Structure 1
Amino acid sequence: MSNLYKNRVEKEVKKFSKREKDFRNGAIVYQILVDRFAPSENLEIKKDLYKYPKVLKAWDETPKPGPFNKDVKYWEHELEYWGGDLKSVISKLKYIKDLGVDVLYLNPIPESLSNHKYDASDYMKISKEYGTAEDLKELCDRLHQEDMKIILDGVFNHVGINNPIYIEAQDPKSDKHDWFDFNEKYPHGVRLWADVPSMPEWNLENEKVRDYLYRAKDSVIRSYLRNGIDGWRLDVAFDIGYKFLSELTENAHDEKKGSLVVGEIWNYPKDWLDSIDGVMNFTFRELTKRAINGDLSPKQANTYLDQMITDSNMEGLLKSWLILDNHDTARLTDQIKDDKDRKLAQVLQFTLPGSPNVYYGTELGMEGGNEPLSRAPMRWDMVNDSNETYRWTKSLIHMHQNQRALKIGDFISTRAEKIIAFERKTDNVDDTVLVFMNPTDKEVIEDILIADSKIMNFSNFDIILGDGKIIDFWAGFIKVSLKPKAFVVVKPNTKVVESYTAYKRV
């Protein structure tokens, strides 16, 4: 065996083996709002927690935009609650496990006035409506027993105006005055996140602030990791910036090796992946939507996918979250009205490099426009096998979980012009997956070069999902036929027929 071949094989085997052992790569992530996911079993006991300016709503009511409450500087829909808590989340773990989830991601849970909790008044306390530190510990333990992980939403760019540190810092004589950027030139006298009156920004340039948030042993980020969580999703991570994200991520890893730090970063992923484990890949989302609605041709989609993935480091992309909807967007059913188009978008979500993020209720086909309409209570009445969207989503999750290349594989682009086409591959040819998609309104047939030396001439292909025709495969060229708005996900058939297979030594 030549050293060149031997070294290449050993390097490939080691790379994919390492990826496979890391839960962060290609994980199925399920996102929930604790208040809206499952009804509390102890609501009567908790009712005193929802006094003015808060309002407790019935589970079958739908959120609606409300007026601004000048007394407390919040929009009224930010103060409406539906009563879910950590214990009610625990009661639904079987559902989450059966769905095929690897990682449960919770929107913020620290103490604050609002229902969204992006305005923490005390990071180290669980908001009483949601439960206690003991409830969180139980949830962590139960998830770990089921071989699942838990990620919390961390809001470390800003706090709420009710935070005692901020209240103290308003005194110019306080030793915490420079923990925020007070300036009389600002409309509210202090720098605010997106000029929201209830959210003053931390002065992260102050080392004491960074010590408090993530550097000290008893810092917020380190304490939660030490107490059982497996990582953080960072709100508005783009506002934190490259330097501090890198420092934050390093400290999280120091506290818990292999923990995940993924950021809400709407920008092109390339440079950000040098500072953080993964991003919420909004470039993927935008590219997908434009390709599906016809703003990008299949050729352009192939080119831009290749560019994004080539520019970015694959290890970071595999840990990045592939999202189509979440709490900040309209639900998928409202964004993409046509069922066939929606399915095409989801196929890309579950086959491109990364970790598919499923927003609670999307697997059921829940509807909802922009926030707060997209944050309605979970429709448990829609959980049944007659729900076609539910069956479809489970089939996507099952495919992703059972195809090694889709979880940890490299991405091989094509130069197809009529069809969105790409390959996912590992060190083992048996894992190879090919994806072909026609987002247009016309039937297409195209010859596409598959640049993979391991796929044998005259190969047959097994369909994993979808409906398309592989006409033939000759010397690297595959001829694919797809009807309008159709897709097909296939893999080469490497099995022995009678006594022979061309794949026996590759």
Structure 2
Amino acid sequence: MSDEQHGDSSSAPTSKYDEREADWRNGTLIYQVIVDRFAPSADLASKKDLYPAPKRLRDWSETPTQGHYLEDQQVWSHEIDFWGGDIASLESRLGYVAELGADVLYLCPIHLAWTNHGYDGLDYKKVRPEYGTRDDVKQLASKLHGRGMRLVLDGVFNHMGRHSPAFKAASSDEHDPHRGWFDFNPDYPGGARAWANAVNLPELVIENPEVQREIWGDPDSVVRGWLRDGIDGWRLDVAFELGPDYLAQLTQAAHDELPGSLTLGEVCNYPAGWFPALDGVLSFTLREILLLGANQQITAGHMQAMLERYFADSDFEHLLKCWNYLDNHDVPRITSTIPDARARELATVLQFTLPGAVNIYYGTELGQTGGDDPENRAPMRWDLVAGSNQTLRLYHRLISIRKQHRALRVGDIRWLVTDRLIGFERHTDHIGEAVFVVANPSSDEVTETVLVPESMLMDLSDLTDLLSGTNVPAHRATITLTLAPHQAMVLVADLEPVFGYTPYKRTR
């Protein structure tokens, strides 16, 4: 990947859709990995000393289970169980990630930390030795760029770890230079303000200019330094607690260092109001709507109204950069949150066709199961990678459809008029690129006539469902279709001539 590709593209867009497509952050496909759990290390024997007691090295076949609280460490025992994956083993599986069709590899925290999850950082500028070195990460970024892919790291800047040298020094010496990095008060559990009162996660005082310089302000700051080392962006942990003003400063620093880089925030709130302080957010609200609809906790009409409001209230250019996700390391896997397989497929189709980027958590494309933390962070089930895996086949199909139809990546959205179904069109300025999505979230078969407010959809022409191959005729800007319970259709206009004739001859 050239320097130009790593940052902004120098191509001259000819339309807003070309301009969106030139920005790698729009409508991208992200594959999320916990390095420790993704691929077993080939050199585990030589690494065993990196997991001293009370840490435990588990067998790859073991499933994480809830542990007990360790008073002396102030963490749960399952937080210091490890499976031994590293950057080298991750690199050995990059072919799988690339073949899947991912544009971006997003890594959960890799910086020096005490626990397996890494959200208790010890030093943001160092890589935990169980994974490798900073040079290894630079090499990984280079290899990804060589494949036309990007690398995004997890930035945990709301809090550090209780075992960090900075916190230890500050807590034992009132005159230590790091004292002002933390909010010490005997009334707090553990003596310092901590995220969610978890004493192992003392919060940083972001208002402190020294903290700001360390994280994003100085030329050798965490944010700037890693971008210079080849990463392409940051996913910011609990970004909503940092607040929009400081996020705006961090985002500006990232863009100054690397134009076109990504700053995406874990914002559980409604997304409107968080732009342009962030380029995008993790789409918590959209996930909630999809789960409610797929599980029939709301009606189709209610679901459609929620979706319409969601996409109307926020800046669309930023919504294209938001990550649409159904599960990740913080929530049970989709097999638990949407138990019905057909409903799960419907939610996945909507995840891939609504505006935004698609965030796939490792193993979800295989149908990997897992309930609450830590079970949802089980090692990757490589034994499920097979052509006969129906879930994997669905993901390959949806990824292929998304790659072939740019309206699904960068197109605008127009809502269809429905009653018991939900429906929308993703469109550009060419009818041949339009994609119409209609879904039945209920457990009943539904036959419905839907208004399609697309002026270039030719009367008496056909639409073809990319999932089933079914043809649906268009008549006077309407389509009448029958959808099975939890079925979704992804329709495109049939522009191919029949015996030399097509009504689209002048409206491509």
TM-score category (smaller protein): over 0.9
The aligned amino acid for 1:83 is G
1:105 and 2:94 correspond: no
Residue aligning to 2:409: 407
1:123-162 equivalence runs, <5 A: 123-162=124-163
Task: Name which of 210, 215, 218 aligns with 1:216.
Answer: 218
Task: Give the deviation of 1:335 after TM superposition.
Answer: 1.5
Q: Can you list the C-alpha shifts for 1:214-272, whole angstroms capped at 9, x where unaligned?
A: 11110001000000000011111111111111111111111111111111111111111
Task: Give the deviation of 1:337 after TM superposition.
Answer: 1.4
Task: Give the deviation of 1:414 after TM superposition.
Answer: 2.4
Q: TM-score, normalised by structure 1?
A: 0.95
Q: In structure 2, do the counterparts of structure 1 residues 12 and 433 end up closer, same or farther at CA, with 3 Å as the change threshold?
A: farther
CA distance in 1, matches of 2:194, 2:158: 10
The aligned amino acid for 2:479 is I
Residue aligning to 1:196: 198
Task: Name which of 231, 234, 240 aligns with 1:232.
Answer: 234
Does the CA-based 8 Å contact 1:12-1:427 persist in structure 2? no
1:487 and 2:485 correspond: no
More divergent stretch after superposition (492-501 vs 286-295): 492-501
The aligned amino acid for 2:330 is D
Aligned residue-pair number = 495
Q: Where do 4+ consecutive residues of structure 1 move more than 4 Å?
A: none
Task: Give the deviation of 1:467 after TM superposition.
Answer: 6.9
Q: Secondary structure at the match of 2:213?
A: helix
Does the CA-based 8 Å contact 1:469-1:481 persist in structure 2? no
RMSD: 1.5
More divergent stretch after superposition (216-225 vs 271-280): 271-280
The answer for unaligned runs of 5 or more in structure 2 is 1-11
Task: Name which of 441, 444, 447 aligns with 1:442.
Answer: 444
Does the CA-based 8 Å contact 1:151-1:231 persist in structure 2? yes
More divergent stretch after superposition (336-345 vs 172-181): 172-181
CA distance in 1, matches of 2:300, 2:468: 18
1:32 and 2:7 correspond: no
Task: Name which of 401, 409, 427 aligns with 1:425.
Answer: 427
CA distance in 1, matches of 2:475, 2:393: 36
Q: In structure 2, do the counterparts of structure 1 residues 426 and 340 end up closer, same or farther at CA, with 3 Å as the change threshold?
A: same
CA distance in 2, matches of 1:389, 1:405: 24
Does the CA-based 8 Å contact 2:39-2:93 persist in structure 1? yes
Task: Give the deviation of 1:202 after TM superposition.
Answer: 0.6
1:243-282 equivalence runs, <5 A: 243-282=245-284
Task: Give the deviation of 1:12 after TM superposition.
Answer: 10
Task: Give the deviation of 1:91 after TM superposition.
Answer: 0.3
CA distance in 2, matches of 1:12, 1:31: 30
Does the CA-based 8 Å contact 2:294-2:338 persist in structure 1? no
Task: Give the deviation of 1:371 after TM superposition.
Answer: 0.5
Q: TM-score, normalised by structure 2?
A: 0.95
The answer for unaligned runs of 5 or more in structure 1 is 1-10
Of all paired residues, the percent bearing the same amino acid is 45
Task: Give the deviation of 1:322 after TM superposition.
Answer: 0.6
Q: In structure 2, do the counterparts of structure 1 residues 305 and 36 end up closer, same or farther at CA, with 3 Å as the change threshold?
A: same
The aligned amino acid for 1:487 is A
1:349-498 equivalence runs, <5 A: 349-466=351-468, 470=472, 472-498=473-499
Does the CA-based 8 Å contact 2:450-2:479 persist in structure 1? yes
The aligned amino acid for 2:372 is N
CA distance in 1, matches of 2:189, 2:163: 19
More divergent stretch after superposition (224-233 vs 399-408): 399-408
CA distance in 2, matches of 1:433, 1:211: 46
Residue aligning to 1:7: none
Q: In structure 2, do the counterparts of structure 1 residues 49 and 12 end up closer, same or farther at CA, with 3 Å as the change threshold?
A: closer
Q: In structure 2, do the counterparts of structure 1 residues 309 and 13 end up closer, same or farther at CA, with 3 Å as the change threshold?
A: farther
